[in-house]
Amino acid sequence: MSTAMDTESTYSGYSHYSGHSKKAHRQGRDRHKSPRSKDGSRSEKSVTIQTPPAEPLLGNDASRAEEGQDDNWGETTTAITGTSEHSISQEDIARISKDLEDSVGLDCKRYLGLTVAAVLGLLVFLTPIAFILLPQILWRDDLEPCGTVCEGLFISVAFKLLILLIGTWALFFRQPKADIPRVFVFRALLLVLIFLFVFSYWLFYGVRILDTKDTNYQGIVQYAVSLVDALLFIHYLAIVLLELRQLQPMFAVKVVRSTDGESRYYSLGHLSIQRAALVVLENYYKDFTVYNPALLTASKSRAAKHMAGLKVYNVDGPGNNASGQSRAMIAAAARRRDSSHNELYYEEADHERRVKKRRARLVVAVEEAFTHIKRLQAEEQQKAPGEMMDPREAAQAIFPSMARALQKYLRTTRQQQYHSMESILQHLSFCITNNMTPKAFLERYLNPGPTLQYDKDRWFSKQWTLVSEEAVTSGLQDGVVFVLKCLDFSLVVNVKKIPFIKLSEEFIDPKSHKFVLRLQSETSV
């Protein structure tokens, strides 16, 4: 228990800091504090080392627009705020209702498709076996004897079916990883093709063989073998259409996040728009830094200030053109001597300096904390049994000395919502177990990482909508733009074709590399 940092709390939500930083800190926080009334719920806990709480520090429904609030596992306070613990913001209501209504419909569609494919696959697999067995069952006595040739054909049918089974398992039996709005065109085409193919084979078999009770058994078996061969070729076609065709990169796709402009480029082959959207989303979770709404409030407040500065009065009576009015307003705003660029510059410079300072303090604190721990070798473990700790206890022991610096740093970079004390302790014990250096431990906190790194509750992006002017099953073309929307932000995707590259060759004889000395001497005479 960090009693050294124990302070008495006198007003809700804030704690006293040591004297010299108090005033500056309070001023800084007051500047950031939003004027709206508190919207979320907060519960503040005092720090106990033995049993840290398991839930995230800010409670479930903390409004994301809050800043300047404490998460005080670094210091200790005992005050509880006055707001209720169960308030939910408007966005959360929208999100919950959307989750409910969407989950039912799509599952039915997905399972329907799967069952159709499974039934068809089973039918197709059993067909050759049926072709071979039916004559034996129905008119065994009339069949011509067919010795080694038929047995050889039986073996080949058996192995080809086995290969087909393994190939189908490898290619198709995968957990569906996504729900997409429309059917896969190629998959549907292949299913239809297989169905027609098998249907025509059954038709021929039924008419020519079953009805006439053909006695040439070798011919029947060869017919079944030809079916299996053709199925293997269809399987090859499926591999080429579904897997190989889109491997060759044809398009460079630029993905830009609408809220902060972060962008990436990806290479894609011939895909439909919905499959391209899937690829983009899969890469989004691991490439883009996590969406942090706390970072956007500065630009929003600047925008609000721009609009609040001008008022337009209508002195000529009704009937004025609205566009002329708004154009005049924009022109007036542009001419106004605005010093907001100055503010932005100094604010950003100030913020940079503060972040760097806190980062330096954090790095020093963590390095110092890590020096207190030493790994015991196997021989030493017998000598001092009383003092041994497992990684969790070791983490809890050194955590208080770096907790405050880490909390301050996270608060300055507005990441405090993404890391709870429990997750930090877990990460610390993980790093201690794996012999990581302080820098490796800090790597997770110094830079915002990709979305996958964080707890699912903090993702803000689970339900996606594909907005496109063209049909989502049509292929990618140069210049196609589509948008992937989720509740809080959207990803704008712009498709560009990789240019046709003309490559020519030039041969250089290795003996043609010759050099001369370029001198400039001066001689005195």
Partner 1 sequence: SYLIFFFSSFQQRIEIHKLRQGDNLILGFSIGGGIDQDPTQNPFSEDKTDKGIYVTRVTEGGPAEVAGLQIGDKIMQVNGWDMTMVTHDQARKRLTKRNEEVVRLLVTRQSLQKAVQQSMMS
Q: Which residue has the tokens 């972040």?
A: 355
In the complex, minimum distance from the CB of residue 518 to partner 1, in angstroms, rounded to a whole number: 4
Q: In the complex with partner 1, which residue's Cβ is closer, 315 or 517?
A: 517
Tokens of 155: 């073996």
Cβ-based neighbours of 491, under 8 Å, separated by 6 or more: 255, 256, 257, 258, 280, 284, 483, 484, 485
Cβ-based neighbours of 49, under 8 Å, separated by 6 or more: 1, 396, 397, 399, 400
Q: In the complex with partner 1, which residue's Cβ is closer, 174 or 518?
A: 518
In the complex, minimum distance from the CB of residue 512 to partner 1, in angstroms, rounded to a whole number: 22
State whether residue 347 is helix, strand or coil: helix
Give which of 156, 153, 164 is closest to 194, Cα–Cα: 164
In the complex, minimum distance from the CB of residue 515 to partner 1, in angstroms, rounded to a whole number: 13
Q: At what angle do helices 340-371 and 438-446 cross, to 10 degrees?
A: 150
The strand pairing partners of 278, in sequence order, are none
Distance CA 217, CA 142 (A): 10
Q: In the complex with partner 1, which residue's Cβ is closer, 512 or 524?
A: 524
In the complex, minimum distance from the CB of residue 517 to partner 1, in angstroms, rounded to a whole number: 9
Q: In the complex with partner 1, which residue's Cβ is closer, 100 or 525?
A: 525
Please give the span between the terminal C-alpha atoms of the chain, in angstroms, as a whole number.
88
Distance CA 469, CA 257 (A): 19
Q: In the complex with partner 1, which residue's Cβ is closer, 321 or 520?
A: 520
The strand pairing partners of 319, in sequence order, are none
In the complex, minimum distance from the CB of residue 525 to partner 1, in angstroms, rounded to a whole number: 5
Distance CA 181, CA 277 (A): 11
In the complex, minimum distance from the CB of residue 519 to partner 1, in angstroms, rounded to a whole number: 5
Name the amino acid, one letter, at 404.
R
Name the amino acid, one letter, at 283.
N
Q: In the complex with partner 1, which residue's Cβ is closer, 501 or 516?
A: 516
Q: In the complex with partner 1, which residue's Cβ is closer, 374 or 518?
A: 518
In the complex, minimum distance from the CB of residue 522 to partner 1, in angstroms, rounded to a whole number: 5
Q: In the complex with partner 1, which residue's Cβ is closer, 90 or 524?
A: 524
Positions touching partner 1 (CB under 8 A) are 518-525
Q: In the complex with partner 1, which residue's Cβ is closer, 322 or 519?
A: 519
DSSP per-residue string spanning 223-288:
HHHHHHHHHHHHHHHHHIIIIITTTS--EEEEEEETTT--EEEEEE-S-BHHHHHHHHHHHHHHHS
CA 90 remoteness from chain centre:
25
In the complex, minimum distance from the CB of residue 516 to partner 1, in angstroms, rounded to a whole number: 9
Distance CA 125, CA 164 (A): 9
